[in-house]
Amino acid sequence: MAVAFTHRLTGLAAEAAFFAILSLPPMLFGLAGAVGFVAGVFEVDAVSTFRADLLRLASAALTGDAVSTVIAPTLDDVLASGRADVVSVGFLLALWAGSRSTNVFIETITIMYGMAGERGIVRTRLLSVLAYLVFLLVGVVVLPLILAGPSLIDLALPDALGAVGLLYWPVVLLLSVCMLATVFHLAVPHRSRWRSDLPGAGLTVLLWLGGSALLRAVLGRTTGTASVYGPLAAPIAVLLWLYLVSIAVLLGAALNAAVDKVWPHLSGLHDGAAPDRQVSDSSAS
């Protein structure tokens, strides 16, 4: 914990959360511009539902007045007919902002390992862009499966195998741990043993689940009460959640770095991969 906060973990987590929410509006417009080309194929109710969902997501990053006076009219124009310019510009803006957030995570993980500056700026930026693109592609497939829940398994399997649906969420959590371990593994400039990143990945998932439950309970108790922050409630809630997620990821990286310091033979980072690596006094503490 001392090492994590010495390396300004809370400030870097806030930066990552900011750039994550900054990429939300252009990403939504890029998605809407693509849907506009095929909107005529869908029923009116389906397009209306899609529009309502986008406006609800946009309200998480913008105020109500901005959504009603700027976002909604522009969205109606985009959905009426496809807009290639919106798709391209929106994608580039989302790619810049999203990869900036990913870049913060990569740089912070290397700081936790005492390897700051060992990977060049260009290589780090390229890695962050590629990682963000991979996350987007994986998210397109994974997020609908998570939202569908075990009901999707129940529909796909016969009644005799209905008990398999009970394994849905444990498998999702296990895959989440494996994905985070891969992120930690690739973020370090020198290759380590993949299994050595599992402790930090497991801690990240536990902190994410616990923090999300706590935030939901707190927001549930304050929702509907009179507050000067009423118009900003949704953006603040999203920022807080992203902030908690960022802190969880960085604390997981700090745990892996601590394990590397105490048991260096487990990670393999010291087996000739980085013989000249200098660990700062603050990291050693």
pLDDT tens figures, 149-197:
666 666 666 666 666 667 777 888 898 899 889 888 888 887 778 888 8
| Domain assignment of residue 51, yes or no | yes
Using the predicted structure, report yes or no on whether residue 40 has a pLDDT greater than 70.
no
Using the predicted structure, report yes or no on whether residue 46 has a pLDDT greater than 60.
no
| Domain assignment of residue 154, yes or no | no
| Domain assignment of residue 127, yes or no | yes
Q: Averaged over 216-231, what is the pLDDT?
A: 63
Domain that holds residue 82: 2-139+167-271
The Cα 120–Cα 236 span in angstroms is 35
Lowest-pLDDT choice from 1-10, 225-234, 256-265: 225-234
| Domain assignment of residue 177, yes or no | yes
The pLDDT value given to residue 47: 58
Sign of the CA dihedral running 35, 39, 43, 48: positive
| Domain assignment of residue 157, yes or no | no
Using the predicted structure, report yes or no on whether residue 63 has a pLDDT greater than 70.
no
| Domain assignment of residue 218, yes or no | yes
Lowest-pLDDT choice from 33-37, 156-160, 193-197, 267-271: 33-37
The pLDDT value given to residue 162: 61
Tally of domains in the chain: 1
| Domain assignment of residue 278, yes or no | no
What are the pLDDT digits (tens) for 201-211? 999 999 998 98
| Domain assignment of residue 150, yes or no | no
Q: What is the pTM of this model?
A: 0.70
8 Å CB contact between 13 and 101: no
Closest residue by Cα to residue 57 from 93, 31, 91: 31
